[in-house]
Amino acid sequence: MMNGKQYIDSLKARKPRVYYLGERLRDPYSHPAIIPHMRTAAVTYDLAMEDRHAEIMTATSHLTGEKVSRFTHLFWSVDDLIKKIEMLRLIGRETGTCFQRCVGLDGINAIWSVTYEIDRAKGTEYHAKFRKYLERLQKEDLMSAGAMTDVKGDRSLPPWQQPDPDMYVRIVERRPDGIVIRGAKTHITGAVNSHEILVMPTLGLPPEGADYAVVCAVPIDAPGLTLVFGRQTNDERKEEEGMFDCGTSFGVVGGESTLLFEDVFVPSERVFMAGEGEFAGSLVDRFSSWHRANYGGCKAGNADILLGATALLTEIHGTIKNSIVKDKLTEIVHLVETIYASAVGSSALGTKLPAGNWMVDPLLANTVKQNVTRFLYQVGRLAHDLGGGILSTLPSDADFRNGEIGGLLTKYFAGKEGFPTEEKRKLCRYIENMTSVATLVEALHGAGSPQAQRIVMLRQANLPEKTRMAKKVIGIGKE
Ligand code: SF4
């Protein structure tokens, strides 16, 4: 296992092709836009080194019997599923933002389960290859990004009917020693600072879409792969001295990128699905449910920090004893604990898959994420309400540091005695950044848009069975 510094050093040994703001980054891991996200991911490595967190952050590999990071470990029980949620809340509390590494964790679990089923049905050898790949991931403690979302072009058309066939990542050539893939994946969390990219399809596929049914692992610096790092709200603040106006030295959301695959060759040993579209739907459903449950862990942890920051700000404002303020803080507690409870619940009701790893309850997992799409906005609204207009009008740190006006600003923005103005400003900046556009849109669309959850929820709710139960209780119709 690596610590945070070793993780960062291991990235520096790689040479990915990364673009940001119209320029190629020759040294992406030293760039102010990337560093905060890399620093956040490094926390997942550092916490795993601490004895007091060992039970949550590490596990025993079922492949080697060695101690591994929980981020490379499969879910072998309900206990593993619950520990994952606890781990995400813990790291969410340590970083106050997205730490990115969970997408790869859910990806390896999805690929493990589906390759097993493909091999059983078709006599292929994907599972054994993936087993070997996973062993390496665990041994070297690599961070993998999950690349699922395609750019999708005209969404009224399936992948194979798009005017441009590259709107979904596809196999353009099959060679005796591997495949060549082309297309683009977007919104890929933590991609630039990952070692590996796990490419997965974004939807179930019938036989006509076989070329789009591709699962494979691509190294971050594979020839033909380009990463375009996305813009975020307030991203220019990362380049300012001390990053004060960012509110924290960690990134806002997960440092998402668009990945361009320009005829990338993937050797056979890294290919885990190549045409078996009938299994793509299961892979997407499982991955999505695991990842949607996660939001009740990481976002609860992030919201804990938001709650703490908001409470402290009301103390500095001198309003914390007001019963209305207390009630609004209580409302944040209620929203946060509701998402956490359903994430733990979806894990507690997990079931074993044929490959041996465990699946969360999909109805509860999708309910978690559906609630997050609303509750995080409500938490943000309450924080804005309690924090006040200062959250959006506070002068810059540069003004506070200015020799002519800084002293006056410090005097007039002071709050309750005993609390330095600088601390008040820092709290305001954290709340501002963590309740702004990028964060809220990420809460809404990350792990799938709200409607994607509602489709699964209605399917899982089993309306015919509920109608039957209602008829029985009310005493109408035939059973
Ligand atoms: Fe992990 Fe949460 Fe970020 Fe998803 S949004 S990658 S679950 S921290």
pLDDT tens for residues 350-374? 999 999 999 999 999 999 999 999 9
pLDDT for 47 equals 98
Task: Characterize the bridge pairing of strands 144-147 and 196-199.
Answer: parallel
Task: Supply the pLDDT for residue 479.
Answer: 62
Stretch 95-108: mean pLDDT: 97
- DSSP conformation letters of 213-258: -EEEEEETT-TTEEEEEPP-TTGGGGGSGGGGGGSSSSPSTT--EE
Whether the predicted pLDDT of 390 surpasses 90: yes
Best residue among 232, 252, 294 to mutate for probing ligand 1's pocket (most ligand atoms within 8 Å of CB) is 294
- Rounded distance from Cα 294 to ligand 1 centre (Å): 7
Kindly tell me if the per-residue pLDDT of 406 is higher than 90.
yes
Q: From the CA of 215, how far away is ligand 1's center (Å)?
A: 21
Q: Is 80 helix (H, G, I), strand (E, B) or coil?
A: helix
Query: What is the rounded distance in angstroms from the CA atom of residue 205 to the CA atom of residue 396?
Result: 51
Q: Which of 37, 71, 103, 302 to mutate to test the pocket of ligand 1 (most atoms within 8 A of CB)?
A: 103
| Ligand 1 centroid from CA 88, angstroms | 8
pLDDT for res 53: 98
**Pocket perturbation via mutation, ligand 1, pick of 189, 198, 444 by most ligand atoms within 8 A of CB:** 189
DSSP annotation of 22? T
Residue in the structure block whose two tokens are 């959850």: 453
Q: Which residues contact 315 (CB under 8 A, 6 or more apart)?
A: 416, 419
**Could you tell me the pLDDT band of residue 292, with boundaries at 50, 70 and 90?**
very high
- The residue whose CB lies within 8 Å of the most ligand 1 atoms, and thus the one to mutate among 98, 101, 290, is 98
Q: Round to whole Å and give the CA distance between 427 and 271.
A: 47
Alpha carbon distance 49, 8 (integer Å): 15
pLDDT for res 276: 97
Task: Look at residue 306 and tell me whether its pLDDT is greater than 70.
Answer: yes
Structure tokens given for 178: 């591997």
Q: Which residues contact 271 (CB under 8 A, 6 or more apart)?
A: 126, 129, 178, 179, 214, 215, 216
CA distance 435 to 383: 8
What is the CA(345)–ligand 1 centre distance, in A? Answer: 18
Q: Is the pLDDT of residue 181 over 70?
A: yes
pLDDT on residue 232: 86
CA distances from 262 to 184, 203, 273 (A): 8, 21, 19
The residue with tokens 């099959």 is 174
Mean pLDDT, the chain, rounded, equals 97
Nearest atom in ligand 1 to 446's CA: 5
Catalytic residues: 98, 102, 189, 256, 291, 295, 298, 442
Contact 7, 48 (CB under 8 A): no
Task: Return the pLDDT at 378.
Answer: 97
Residue by residue, DSSP assigns 265-282 as EEEGGGEEEES-GGGHHH
CA–centroid distance, 41 to ligand 1, in Å, is 11
How far apart are the C-alpha atoms of 276 and 125, rounded to whole Å? 13
Q: Which two three-digit tokens encode residue 174?
A: 């099959």
* pLDDT surpassing 70 at residue 298: yes
Q: CA 80 to CA 77: how far, in whole Å?
A: 5
* Residue 478 in this model has a pLDDT that exceeds 80: no
Please report which helix (H) or strand (E) contains residue 305, including its range. helix 280-317
Is residue 145 within 8 A of residue 199, CB to CB? The reply is no
Does residue 257 have a pLDDT over 80? yes
* Helix, strand, coil percentages in the chain from 3-state DSSP, rounded to 5: 55, 15, 30
CA 422–ligand 1 middle distance (angstroms): 30
Query: Does the global pTM surpass 0.75?
Result: yes
Compute the distance from residue 92 Cα to the ligand 1 centre, in Å. Answer: 9
Q: Which atom of ligand 1 is nearest to the CA of 189?
A: 6
Cα 376 to Cα 303: distance, rounded to the nearest angstrom = 8
Cα(311) to ligand 1 centroid in Å equals 25
Q: Is 226 exposed, middle or buried (0-12, 13-18, 19+ CB in 10 A)?
A: middle
Q: Whose CA is nearest to atom 8 of ligand 1?
A: 98
Q: How many CB atoms lie within 10 A of CB 103?
A: 28
- CA-closest residue to ligand 1 atom 6: 100
Nearest-atom number in ligand 1 for the CA of 447 is: 4
Q: Whose CA is nearest to atom 1 of ligand 1?
A: 102
Counting from 1 in the atom list of ligand 1, the atom nearest the Cα of 102 is 1
**List of residues 6+ apart from 425 with CB closer than 8 A:** 244, 394, 397, 400, 413
What residue's CA is closest to ligand 1, atom 5?
98
Q: What percent of the chain has pLDDT over 70?
A: 100
Q: Ligand 1 centre from 174 Cα, in Å? A: 34
Residue 166, number of CB atoms within 10 A of its CB: 18
Nearest protein CA to atom 3 of ligand 1, as residue? 98
Atom number in ligand 1 closest to CA 103? 6
Task: Convert 137-200 into a string of H (helix), E (strand) and C (coil).
Answer: HHHHCCCEEEECCECCCCCCCCHHHCCCHHHCCEEEEEECCEEEEEEEEEEECCCCCCCEEEEC
Antiparallel, parallel or unpaired: β 58-60 and 67-69: antiparallel
Ligand 1 shell residues, CB under 6 Å = 98-100, 102-103, 189, 254, 294-295, 298, 446
Ligand 1 atom closest to the Cα of residue 254 is 3
Count of H-run helices and E-run strands, the chain? 16, 14
Q: For residues 187 and 179, is the Cβ–Cβ distance under 8 A?
A: no
Mind listing the pLDDT tens digit for each residue in 149-180? 999 999 999 999 999 999 999 999 999 999 99
pLDDT band at 49, cuts 50/70/90?
A: very high
Mean pLDDT of 264-283: 98
Mutate to test the pocket of ligand 1, among 84, 93, 100 (most ligand atoms within 8 A of CB): 100
Q: Where residue 348 falls among pLDDT bands split at 50, 70, 90?
A: very high
Per-residue confidence (pLDDT) for residue 233, from 0 to 100: 84
- The average pLDDT across 443-466 equals 93
Please state the atom number of ligand 1 nearest to the C-alpha of residue 253: 3
Residue 280, phi then psi, degrees to nearest 5: -65, -40
pLDDT above 70 (res 1): yes
**CA 185/CA 194 separation, integer angstroms:** 15
